Amino acid sequence: MVDPEHSHEHPYPAADLAARYPFVTLETRRLPDDEMLDRARTFHQAMGARRSVRMFSSRPVPGELIEEAVLAASTAPSGAHKQPWTFVAVQDPELKSRIRREAEAEERSNYLENRMNNEWLEALAPLGTDHHKEFLEVAPWIVVLFEQRYELRPDGSRRKNYYVKESVGIAAGLFIAAIHDMGLATLTHTPTPMAFLRRLLGRPENERPFVMFPIGHPLPGLQVPDLRRKSLSEVFVEVDRRGDGSTVR
């Protein structure tokens, strides 16, 4: 563990920590810069091809693929490593219909009964979303991601979770990436309010729906809005010692 580049004043784990808790050596690899750049560009390109999809094929998707995506998502870092999430998968047509019915009822109030204000509706206009959620029945799977606001032990006692929204948000991102990487498509869908999902899916009181994902093969030839993503300079600044937001380059 001798680093020719830096000698650490505070090595981790400290000896007394390592004596009290288990530690293992992490497998690391050191790639040349040009290979890292290749990989970074390949990854960016792959993720750049992801789009939110609202038209799915009804072609079946093996449950094992959903399970693999959940395992990938569950590698997300989380507050105090609590992994405060539950992914609930539904393929039963009857249950998917019930979810659609209740989601559409909420969304009808949002879109048609002024629960969304005009500014919001204008922001959504280019996406053309409305209260129809047919994809909830067409897509072979719906996965609902629940956040565990606290941990409920089998004896009924509660333990705190930490940074729940941040942790679950990161897991959601990894889930989306995993689904895309295996060639499937999804949509982050948040029929608001989502409380009905806890009831329909019989989830315990400590869980709250965070986001739902219809998942399936994208319908061949489907159309998506012609969106542009922000350029690097719109989303990135490198701050030098002046701290005024000017870029070094």
Please report, as ranges, the residues that interact with ligand IYR according to CB under 6 A.
107, 124, 127, 129, 189-192
Q: 82 or 208: whose CB is closer to ligand IYR?
A: 208
Q: Which residue is nearest to ligand IYR (CB)?
A: 129
Least Å from the CB of residue 51 to ligand IYR: 13
d(CA 53, CA 94): 22
Q: 54 or 180: whose CB is closer to ligand IYR?
A: 54
Least Å from the CB of residue 219 to ligand IYR: 18
Calculate the alpha carbon distances from 240 to 22, 154, 198 in Å. Answer: 39, 51, 48
Least Å from the CB of residue 40 to ligand IYR: 28
Q: 193 or 204: whose CB is closer to ligand IYR?
A: 193
d(CA 46, CA 50): 7
Least Å from the CB of residue 178 to ligand IYR: 21
Least Å from the CB of residue 191 to ligand IYR: 6
Residue type, 138: V
Q: 175 or 213: whose CB is closer to ligand IYR?
A: 213
Q: 107 or 207: whose CB is closer to ligand IYR?
A: 107
Calculate the alpha carbon distances from 217 to 24, 59, 143, 173 in Å. Answer: 40, 7, 14, 19
**Lookup: tokens for 155:** 């004896």
Strands (E), the chain: 85-90, 141-148, 150-152, 158-160, 185-186, 207-216
- The answer to whether 227 and 128 are in contact (CB under 8 A) is no
